[in-house]
């Protein structure tokens, strides 16, 4: 990966590069376009290159020429729409923009769509930056990542907003480098496997959370330099933590310096305003009929993985990509050429993107935030799927949170909200996300959603997290949920870390750490996450007592645990459940442990199954079920396990 020419080369893009760019398949267009340190005719400087087919003229302006146009004009490459120029004696750190004159003679200053670095907002200039100087130390991580499938491994994602996880005493942001040093110990202590960052591509407005982007190739300067971010990713990898980025291909903001009407005409957005305008967000949609837009976005995916070693993307608002009218109210419905509401060009782009990325980076994650019933989102394109390898299960989140908000005495009337997800749990490769979207805009924090008194709120949340860990699917939690953030997320303030000084929150934090540790230790909870063979009901129908009982199975024979979830406030002293085999069972996890803030209703000694059919199982055993709690049992299968159990007891 080289961003500076070691010897004189042709100033203009090759015909092959231009062909691929206009074909929509140039995965490294960030090397052809943008500002690059360059040697030309024996002189070092910067080559500037930009796609603006309808511009009348383009000049590079910046701090080196007092922002005056006309002095450093670019030359248009024939029949390409690309403008190129070389300015000698410039180097890293130079501020610049493109002064673009449209067909009517109107001039506007635009940031470079391919800029690698940008000024700190509210300033908007691009900055010349070389990205090839950092010395990576994560070769082992990358090698392992690309060899092994994530589907049969544990996955615990910590979703993070870099600006509000923690702040310094003076209210300023941590840099990426400082955040890495502060965050990693915490993430490892809580046994997460991945960090997912809300968008860190350059954006002008803090309150957009990064979802309205101006610099798709520019890591936001709010939190430091590109090298700082490389350090963040590198250090995560050295400690076996993956890094996922949110990526926004559906729309971009309309700020004057951004992509909107870039060359005086709709370029990155459709020319038809009805298709271009995303009225609810005040943004423009990308135009997927333009293959150069394909190259821009495909290259952007490859760029973050190639240059910053990113391990995957959570692709934002996929439903708004694949449906013309989703989340975009219009006076009249938009339709495709066949009369349907699918965005056929966007669907084709998604498939192309997933094929391209997995071919080059086979071990990465491509995760769809998709909220509809569109089929085969996480299925291969070869069988008609969109080609993602995971999909957020937003239906499960909505159902289970709706259920949990009900008072326990009323839950028996809404039992189907707990069980419905198992009708489709294996139709996609699901991630179960309790994300930022669930704790903003008056929705309350997860803890504050829980009904009942103070004790019951914490017990309900422990139960909810236990159910999350035992339900098929990978897991995601937004920051703060692990210690019981009581107020909903405030993007301009740090999390309420002082809550850890209170016993209930400290105990919840301990519970969360040990629940994650337990989840990672028991392969039956993740080995067959996306396979029907990994799950079996024991009793799905006890709505009267609000109890669910099921089995999670691993790949090996005998590798299973029995899960009992009690969503009522009652303690059931002699509760009989069916089990698949004779022998002794022990309780290996209980959310009602006193150390977690519970009432200590435990099964302290081994329980022997008896030969009597129950719950469609050939045997049964009688257990104690804690209130608002989850109990997990495993069978003692050999003398060594019995010996270990006796020692630990």
Sort residue 640 into left (φ over 0), alpha (ψ -120 to 50) or beta: alpha
Tracing tokens 């301009």 back to the chain, one arrives at 492
φ, ψ at 15 (rounded to 5°) = -60, -35
Angle at 596 between CA 635 and CA 642, to 5 degrees: 25
Largest CA distance in the chain: 91
Q: Which of 101, 369, 428, 488 is catalytic?
A: 369
Give burial (CB, 10 Å; 0-12/13-18/19+) of 439.
Answer: buried
- d(C-alpha 48, C-alpha 93), whole Å: 14
Closest C-alpha to 617, from 572, 556, 574, 576? 576
Closest C-alpha to 396, from 366, 376, 416? 416
How is residue 222 written in tokens? 């709010």
φ, ψ at 13 (rounded to 5°) = -60, 150
Strands (E), 416-472: 430-434
Residues 6+ apart with CB under 8 A from 121: 203, 204, 205, 206, 221, 222
Active site residue 369: yes
Residues 6+ apart with CB under 8 A from 379: 385, 386, 387, 428
Closest C-alpha to 504, from 552, 453, 539, 551? 453
User: Which residues are registered as beta bridge partners of 623?
Assistant: 575
Whether omega for the bond prior to residue 254 falls within 30 degrees of 0, making it cis, is no
Closest C-alpha to 583, from 644, 638, 618, 635? 635
Strands (E), 74-182: 75-76, 82-88, 95-101, 107-110, 126-127, 156-160
Tracing tokens 């049964």 back to the chain, one arrives at 620
Q: Which of 246, 316, 345, 488 is catalytic?
A: 316
Active site residue 277: no
Residues 6+ apart with CB under 8 A from 197: 160, 161, 162, 243, 244, 245, 246
- d(C-alpha 333, C-alpha 544), whole Å: 45
Residues 6+ apart with CB under 8 A from 274: 330, 332, 334
Angle at 420 between CA 414 and CA 421, to 5 degrees: 130
Is the CB of residue 302 less than 8 Å from the CB of residue 357? Answer: yes
Active-site residues: which are they?
Answer: 316, 369
């Amino acid at each position: 990966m080289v961003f500076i020419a070691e010897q004189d080369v042709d100033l203009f893009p090759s015909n092959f590069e231009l062909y691929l760019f206009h074909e929509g398949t140039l995965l490294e267009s960030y090397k052809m376009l943008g500002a690059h340190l360059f040697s030309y005719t024996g002189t070092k400087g910067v080559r500037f290159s930009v796609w603006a087919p309808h511009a009348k003229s383009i000049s590079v302006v910046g701090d080196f020429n007092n922002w005056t146009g006309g002095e450093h004009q670019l030359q248009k490459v024939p029949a390409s729409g690309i403008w190129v120029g070389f300015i000698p004696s410039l180097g890293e750190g130079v501020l610049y923009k493109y002064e673009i004159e449209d067909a009517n003679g109107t001039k506007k200053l635009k940031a470079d769509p391919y800029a690698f670095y940008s000024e700190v907002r509210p300033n908007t200039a691009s900055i010349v930056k070389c990205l090839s100087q950092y010395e990576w130390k994560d070769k082992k991580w990358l090698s392992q990542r690309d060899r092994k499938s994530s589907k049969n491994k544990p996955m615990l994602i910590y979703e993070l907003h870099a600006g509000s996880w923690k702040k310094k005493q003076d209210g300023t942001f941590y840099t990426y480098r400082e955040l890495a040093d502060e965050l990693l110990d915490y993430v490892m202590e809580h046994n997460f496997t991945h960090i997912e960052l809300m968008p860190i591509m350059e954006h002008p407005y803090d309150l957009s959370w990064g979802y309205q982007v101006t610099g798709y190739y520019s890591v936001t300067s709010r939190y430091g330099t590109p090298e700082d971010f490389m350090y963040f990713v590198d250090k995560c990898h050295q400690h076996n933590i993956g890094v996922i980025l949110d990526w926004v291909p559906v729309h971009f903001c309309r700020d004057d310096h951004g992509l909107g009407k870039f060359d005086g005409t709709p370029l990155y957005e459709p020319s038809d305003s009805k298709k271009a305008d995303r009225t609810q967000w005040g943004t423009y949609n990308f135009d997927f009929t333009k293959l150069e837009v394909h190259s821009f976005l495909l290259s952007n995916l490859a760029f973050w993985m190639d240059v910053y070693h990113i391990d995957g993307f959570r692709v934002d608002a996929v439903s708004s990509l694949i449906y013309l009218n989703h989340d975009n109210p219009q006076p009249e419905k938009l339709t495709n050429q066949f009369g349907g509401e699918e965005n056929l060009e966007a669907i084709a782009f998604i498939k192309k993107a997933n094929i391209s990325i997995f071919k080059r980076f086979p071990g990465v994650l491509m995760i769809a935030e998709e909220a509809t019933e569109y089929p085969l989102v996480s299925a291969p394109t070869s069988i008609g799927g969109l080609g993602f390898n995971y999909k957020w299960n937003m239906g499960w989140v909505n159902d289970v949170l709706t259920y949990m908000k009900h008072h326990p005495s009323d839950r028996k009337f809404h039992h189907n909200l707990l069980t419905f997800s198992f009708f489709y749990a294996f139709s996609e490769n699901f991630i179960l996300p309790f994300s930022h979207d669930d704790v903003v805009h008056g929705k309350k924090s997860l803890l504050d959603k829980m009904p009942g008194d103070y004790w019951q709120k914490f017990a309900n949340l422990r139960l909810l997290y236990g159910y999350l860990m035992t339900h098929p699917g990978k897991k995601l939690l937004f920051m703060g949920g692990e210690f019981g953030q009581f107020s909903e997320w405030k993007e301009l303030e740090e999390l309420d870390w002082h809550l850890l000084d209170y016993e209930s929150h400290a105990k919840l934090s301990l519970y969360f750490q040990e629940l994650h540790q337990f989840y990672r230790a028991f392969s039956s909870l993740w080995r067959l996450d996306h396979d029907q063979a990994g799950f079996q009901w024991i009793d799905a129908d006890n709505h009267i007592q609000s109890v669910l009982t099921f089995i999670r199975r691993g790949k090996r024979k005998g590798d299973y645990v029995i899960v009992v979830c009690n969503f009522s406030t009652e303690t059931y002293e002699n509760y009989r459940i069916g089990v698949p085999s004779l022998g002794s069972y022990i309780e290996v996890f209980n959310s009602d442990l006193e150390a977690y803030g519970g009432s200590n209703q435990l099964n302290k000694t081994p329980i022997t199954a008896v030969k009597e059919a129950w719950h469609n199982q050939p045997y049964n055993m009688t257990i104690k079920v804690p209130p608002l709690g989850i109990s997990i049992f495993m069978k003692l299968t050999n003398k060594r396990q019995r010996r270990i159990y006796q020692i630990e007891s």
